[in-house]
Amino acid sequence: MSKIEELLKNEKVEWKKLGDVCEDKFWIMPSTPKFSNDFKIPYITGKNIKNGEIDFDNVKYISEEDYVSFNKNRSIIKDDILISMIGTIGEIGVVKENNKFYGQNLYLLRLNPNVILTRYFYHFFSQNRIKDGLVSKKNSSSQGYIRAGNIENLEIPIPSIETQEKIVKALDKFTNYVTELQAELQARTKQYEYYRDMLLSEEYLNKLSYYLEENRLLKLEWKTLDEISVGSLSYGSGASAIDYDGETRYIRITDINDSGGLNKEKASPNVVEEKYILNNEDILFARSGATVGKNYIHLINDKCVYAGYLIRLIVNKEIALPKFVFYCLNTNRYKIFVDNTKSRGSQPNINSKQYGSFKIPIIPIEIQNIVVEILDKFQSLLADTKGLLPQEIEQRQKQYEYYREKLLTFDENSAKRERERESISL
């Protein structure tokens, strides 16, 4: 990378409007179709577009008939570029395969490969200044959108194809390394989840009990959360959060993050009632909305109360260790339970009675403690990985952004002056 200046030295760059280097360009804006999980054709929106990728895991599905109708005159093919235009603005995705799918609220660009490379355009367009410039042009409606002209009139520096290839090669080294680190982080997380689910399976717990009880087979029992609870599972306080500097933390449904911990933002309630104060190792469940099914075990010393859209489980410690229960509530079996139990609709819900019906394997407390110790070690190793790898990913991402700016910053004024001189000489 020390040869950046040499790479770009004396490179003649022509600035062209994006619309002028496209073989085709059009809005993807069909009427909203009928959706069903019985259909097979993915249907994406701007939410599925990010960092050059298209997320096909979290999509709705349309029928073959609707796909044929939408695709008739405006097909999506390999190497097409999709840009989000409404709501989430300026995200870019590159179509990698000729697979059947369609979408909405997107703008499609089909670049002329003899003029501009897809990966070169991706690196140029992914610069923060480009996205920020587009976002600044969105209209003032509640959702916000940009017009096709905002994309088509964007001026792009076009060096030779040979130079574009060199720039792409240099920048792809960084993006590929970041992708590898992200894949490693994901693989380690899946490895932890695999061993956690195996360790908490009925078969393995029976084997473990048999081994630790000196070859005496113990009967594993399945008990519901209601059966291991002190009292019934209960809903939280209906107080509101008005103070952000109070002594008592008010845990809301949105405070439970993807890792089963609490977000950093701390809010305090206007009313503190004793019956809603959390004990050490109480477990909370989110009961509605996008966070339904998420759970949290209270292991901090802060004085906290929990909000009305959360459900509390106080574990009977003579029957089960709260951390053992918590680990059981993060297995794949629990995720299947949540998916099968939650109500359908825009605001899915699981009530206290339904949560109370979930069953966990009960083994002697001593053996539960051994399982918890093993899983704590796994969790600690994973936490170290999640601490170190993201730092490395962030560092590499910053390096990529730095060199991207170096390689893709051309003097637009000098190019214009060159065009003016050529025009005068003619």
Domain boundary among 329, 345, 362: 362
Query: For residue 417, is it within any domain?
Result: no
Query: For residue 420, is it within any domain?
Result: no
Can you spell out the DSSP letters for 178-228? Answer: HHHHHHHHHHHHHHHHHHHHHHTSHHHHHHHHHHHTTS-PPPPEEEETTTT
Domain boundary among 133, 159, 185: 159
Shared domain for 235 and 358, answered yes or no, is: yes
Shared domain for 137 and 167, answered yes or no, is: no
- Indicate the number of domains in the chain: 3
Shared domain for 232 and 347, answered yes or no, is: yes
Shared domain for 152 and 182, answered yes or no, is: no
Shared domain for 200 and 147, answered yes or no, is: no
Query: For residue 61, is it within any domain?
Result: yes
Residue that is written with structure tokens 């909305």 in the block: 289
Shared domain for 281 and 211, answered yes or no, is: no
Query: How far is residue 237's CA from residue 239's CA, in Å, rounded to a whole number?
Result: 5
Query: For residue 230, is it within any domain?
Result: yes
Shared domain for 280 and 357, answered yes or no, is: yes
**Which residue pairs from 252-255 have beta carbons closer than 8 angstroms and sit at least 24 positions apart in sequence?**
252/307, 252/309, 252/310, 253/286, 253/287, 253/288, 253/289, 253/291, 253/307, 253/309, 253/310, 254/291
- Tell me the CB-side half-sphere exposure of residue 89, using CA atoms within 13 A: 20
Residue that is written with structure tokens 């260790």 in the block: 321
Shared domain for 169 and 94, answered yes or no, is: no
Query: For residue 304, is it within any domain?
Result: yes
Query: For residue 7, is it within any domain?
Result: no
Query: For residue 414, is it within any domain?
Result: no
- What are the beta bridge partners of residue 93? 52, 82
Shared domain for 133 and 170, answered yes or no, is: no
Shared domain for 198 and 248, answered yes or no, is: no
pTM for the model stands at 0.59
Query: For residue 340, is it within any domain?
Result: yes
Q: Which domain holds residue 285?
A: 221-362
The tens-digit pLDDT sequence of the chain (426 residues) is: 445 556 666 668 889 999 999 999 999 988 888 988 888 999 999 889 988 899 998 889 999 999 999 888 788 999 999 999 888 888 999 999 999 999 999 999 999 999 999 999 999 998 888 888 888 888 876 677 888 899 999 999 999 999 899 889 988 888 888 778 777 777 877 887 888 888 888 887 877 766 555 555 566 889 999 999 999 999 998 888 777 667 889 998 888 876 677 877 788 888 888 999 999 999 999 998 888 999 999 988 888 999 989 999 999 999 999 999 999 998 989 999 999 999 987 789 999 999 999 999 998 898 899 889 988 888 777 766 655 566 777 777 787 777 777 777 766 554 444 443 443 333
CATH number at residue 68: 3.90.220.20
Shared domain for 173 and 94, answered yes or no, is: no
Shared domain for 25 and 132, answered yes or no, is: yes
